[in-house]
Structure 1
Amino acid sequence: MTRPKVCFVLTDAVSYQMLCRGQFEYFRENSNFDITFISGGSKQDFDKLRERQVGKVLDAKLVRKPSVIKDIKALITLTSFFSANRFDLVVYSTPKALLLGSIATLITRHNNTIAIIRGRAYENFFGRKRKLYQLLDKLSLSTSKRVVFISESLKEAYLNEGLISPTKSYLLGSGSSNGVNTDKFQPRNLVHDQPFTVLIAGRICVDKGIYDFAEIITHIQNKNIIFKLVGPIEDFSSEALLSSLMSDNPSIIHIPYTDSIEDHFIEADLHLFLTHREGFGNVAIEAASCGIPTFAYDVIGVKDSVKEGVSGKKFSFKDTASIAEAIDKASIDPHFNQRYTLAREWAIENFDQEKVWNNYLSFYNSVLKESS
């Protein structure tokens, strides 16, 4: 029996590790796909991908930032490769891979294509700049046979803005692109005798809410609350702001890097998620899996990853005063964590990793069967 040839295209090889950890190993064990991975990226990230032994690998020299010369070269590489190699299914995702992959497959008449939308960098853009990005999205999606969104609110945004037809739009299960490892992210089983601790996990930059955090700090009344920020600083202005905040507030702690974020979740009482845009807030379901509630903005992508009253609480965008008030109340509420005892159950029911992986595998199999 001929093995279905499936090609995945992402902009950077690191994304196969960051966005799809474990997923392709699951495909290897539960399908007979002959998989090829295409992207740009560093030698180190390509080596890590090859070490996983989940498929063949091609460096097409894709780059994240706009570069006319590099993008044309990458498009030529993709088009040449797809001309010489026929696939039963091509799946592309992340902005540059989405654009160039959709063009290359159109030119080479690969008709069975799936675009996965993980979010949009232009969520908070306005005017002509936003319209340009919308036009590029519309172009890419118009040539794609099917489009999978990783959250319902993201899908609705594209539909409401007329960027996609409802007939080709899909949401698999409850959303998410890779689910949560509920064995790794477990509730704490240690005596919690430290002050009320708020965890902020992820990149530290404007879009992830560092300036919003600064506003919240000015409103906080309980000065015994510990704020722990875990993640790399993205830019100079964010670094300067955080440095200033830490010098004025000894209760603010910054940990630049960890490969065990679950250890920080189990030491926290609350997860604070101030991102301005997201395709799906995976960090919020990781917190939920640990039994830790999340306070977050009610924005696209995030609203799907926080269940009001079950895994946390959602606030209007930029309403930092209300968030600070809620944190203050939580910090003196002896029953706070007991109010979110169903968080882990909700995370397991909707986003357990193998369930999410199986949603994608079943979808790919159904597409292949339909086109055979």
Structure 2
Amino acid sequence: MRLASVPFFLVSQLQLQAEQLAAYGMEVQLVSGEGPELGRLHLGPRLRYTTIEFARPIHPWKDLKTLWQLARLFIRERPEIVHSTTPKPGLLAAIAGFVTRVPVRLHTFTGQPWLHRRGLVRWLARTADRFIGFLNTCCYADSHSQRQFLIDEGIISEQKIHVLGHGSLAGVDTVRFDRNRWSEPERQDIRRQYSISPETKIILFLGRIARDKGIRELLMAFEQLIVDGKDCHLLLVGPSDEECGGESFLPSGTPHAAKRIQSVGYTDCPERFLAIADILCLPSYREGFGTVVIEAAAMGVPVVGTRINGLKDAVVNGETGMLVESHDARALYEAIATLLSSPAQLARLGHAARERARRLFDAKYVNRLLAEEYLKLLMYSRR
């Protein structure tokens, strides 16, 4: 049983993994709250779905109701494995699974929301992560740097947290994310749809439009690029997270560059935009790994990102992309400007990124590692 807070996470991150586990003969049940992405969730005879709402902020009564629903679900379905991702499902599934004696209880950490919080909220979130580590059979981090961070912070012991392979949550579908699937006429047609000329360089952001994704720094850097006369266009692709700033500061932050910025909302076809991108920019403050980075890499698109846990694993600085300090708009501008001024370096980084993604992060390989881990843990639990 796989749990996440919203179906967007299931569709964008775990769909292929669930399908592959079902193909191995496992009965897979997905659990999340309601959301518009449910219609894009592909189910089958061995792949089912159950709706349970997870309140995003701390909400005692709603959280108790969800905990009760999870316990009833676990008692009714009697899963051998419960595997959660994202903080709220992680804590509630750990408690419900422990109480109902689910044999194998797992959680994958994909970043720490408390990293830049202070006071009581930070303490509560850290305590929740400690409970997740304590109550579960085993935990995973989707990057080696994040694993070490959690150990150093005293969240979990090194014996209880692991990384599968070289990291990532579910790898990348290298068949789907292949630039060669898109012909030159198709790519030019996409450019025309967004009124972008063939010569203009495209800087792409893929993800939640939110403050903690570094959107403000990206806009400041892009504004300077336009002031300097760079012929480039910024595409922001992803849902607006209004709780974390959303698009509220887009119009006022870029007086010179506003006409060269387009926010196109959520897409279930990110490869369509990666097919026309020259650079992916991800100036996040925190990431677990950054799945979008290896999706871009698989399509030969180099990344300019921040030197934070997770992205340090996904991007090899100077080899598959460039890393700068987080919150530093000037450094971000300089890195992007350097690549825009050097087509040869851009091509070299893109080629190296593609080869590395296919060698280390192919989804079939990563998902096979997870299936083997499930079988190993089940064998131990039955002794």
- With the length of structure 2 as denominator, give the TM-score of the two structures: 0.87
> 32, 46, 63: which one pairs with 2:55?
63
Question: How do 1:192-341 residues align onto structure 2 when only pairs under 5 Å count?
Answer: 193-220=198-225, 221-235=228-242, 238-245=246-253, 248-249=256-257, 250-340=259-349, 341=351
3-state SS of paired residue (1:204): coil
**8 A Cα contact 1:41 1:62, kept in partner:** no
**8 A Cα contact 1:13 1:39, kept in partner:** yes
Q: Return the alpha-carbon distance in structure 2 between the equivalents of residues 76 and 301 of structure 1.
A: 34
1:53–1:85 distance in 2 versus 1, CA, 3 Å: closer
**8 A Cα contact 1:224 1:251, kept in partner:** no
**1:184 equivalent in alignment to 2:176:** yes
3-state SS of paired residue (1:11): coil
**1:369 equivalent in alignment to 2:379:** yes
Q: Return the alpha-carbon distance in structure 1 between the equivalents of residues 8 and 152 of structure 2.
A: 32
**1:115 equivalent in alignment to 2:107:** yes
Structure 2, unmatched stretches of 5+, are 189-197
1:271–1:37 distance in 2 versus 1, CA, 3 Å: closer
Q: Return the alpha-carbon distance in structure 1 between the equivalents of residues 246 and 72 of structure 2.
A: 42
Q: Return the alpha-carbon distance in structure 2 between the equivalents of residues 253 and 185 of structure 1.
A: 23
> 361, 374, 378: which one pairs with 1:351?
361
**8 A Cα contact 1:210 1:238, kept in partner:** no
Aligned to 2:70: 78
**How many angstroms does 1:316 deviate by?**
1.4
1:84–1:51 distance in 2 versus 1, CA, 3 Å: closer
Q: Return the alpha-carbon distance in structure 1 between the equivalents of residues 222 and 51 of structure 2.
A: 45
| Worse-matched range after superposition: 50-59 or 323-332 | 50-59
Please list the CA deviations of residues 21-60 of structure 1 after superposition, one character each: whole Å capped at 9, or x if unmatched.
2111111212x32333333325x65665574443344333
1:38–1:291 distance in 2 versus 1, CA, 3 Å: closer
**How many angstroms does 1:145 deviate by?**
1.1
Q: Return the alpha-carbon distance in structure 1 between the equivalents of residues 246 and 63 of structure 2.
A: 30
- With the length of structure 1 as denominator, give the TM-score of the two structures: 0.89
**How many angstroms does 1:361 deviate by?**
0.8
**8 A Cα contact 1:231 1:255, kept in partner:** yes
**How many angstroms does 1:242 deviate by?**
1.4
Aligned to 2:138: 146
Aligned to 1:39: 32
Q: Return the alpha-carbon distance in structure 1 between the equivalents of residues 266 and 69 of structure 2.
A: 35
3-state SS of paired residue (1:317): coil
**How many angstroms does 1:231 deviate by?**
2.4
**Partner amino acid, structure 2, of 1:21:** Q
**How many angstroms does 1:309 deviate by?**
2.1
Q: Return the alpha-carbon distance in structure 1 between the equivalents of residues 3 and 246 of structure 2.
A: 32
Q: Return the alpha-carbon distance in structure 2 between the equivalents of residues 225 and 17 of structure 1.
A: 31
3-state SS of paired residue (2:314): coil
**Partner amino acid, structure 2, of 1:22:** L
1:13–1:271 distance in 2 versus 1, CA, 3 Å: closer
| Worse-matched range after superposition: 153-162 or 9-18 | 9-18
Which structure has greater helix proportion? 2
1:62–1:272 distance in 2 versus 1, CA, 3 Å: closer
Aligned to 1:4: none
Q: Return the alpha-carbon distance in structure 1 between the equivalents of residues 51 and 275 of structure 2.
A: 39
1:234–1:248 distance in 2 versus 1, CA, 3 Å: farther
**How many angstroms does 1:82 deviate by?**
2.8
| Worse-matched range after superposition: 268-277 or 321-330 | 321-330
1:361–1:47 distance in 2 versus 1, CA, 3 Å: same
**How many angstroms does 1:203 deviate by?**
1.9
1:266–1:82 distance in 2 versus 1, CA, 3 Å: closer
**Partner amino acid, structure 1, of 2:21:** F
3-state SS of paired residue (1:342): helix
**1:8 equivalent in alignment to 2:2:** yes
**8 A Cα contact 2:15 2:42, kept in partner:** no
Q: Return the alpha-carbon distance in structure 2 between the equivalents of residues 39 and 238 of structure 1.
A: 23
Aligned to 1:3: none
| Worse-matched range after superposition: 355-364 or 326-335 | 326-335
Identity %: 27
**How many angstroms does 1:107 deviate by?**
1.5
1:73–1:225 distance in 2 versus 1, CA, 3 Å: same
| Worse-matched range after superposition: 315-324 or 97-106 | 315-324
**8 A Cα contact 1:280 1:305, kept in partner:** yes
**How many angstroms does 1:166 deviate by?**
0.9
Q: How many residues align?
A: 364
Aligned to 2:46: 54
3-state SS of paired residue (2:162): strand
1:142–1:291 distance in 2 versus 1, CA, 3 Å: same
**How many angstroms does 1:75 deviate by?**
1.2
**Partner amino acid, structure 2, of 1:317:** S
3-state SS of paired residue (1:175): coil
**How many angstroms does 1:98 deviate by?**
1.0
**How many angstroms does 1:213 deviate by?**
1.5
**Partner amino acid, structure 1, of 2:363:** Q
Q: Return the alpha-carbon distance in structure 2 between the equivalents of residues 34 and 297 of structure 1.
A: 39
**How many angstroms does 1:365 deviate by?**
1.1
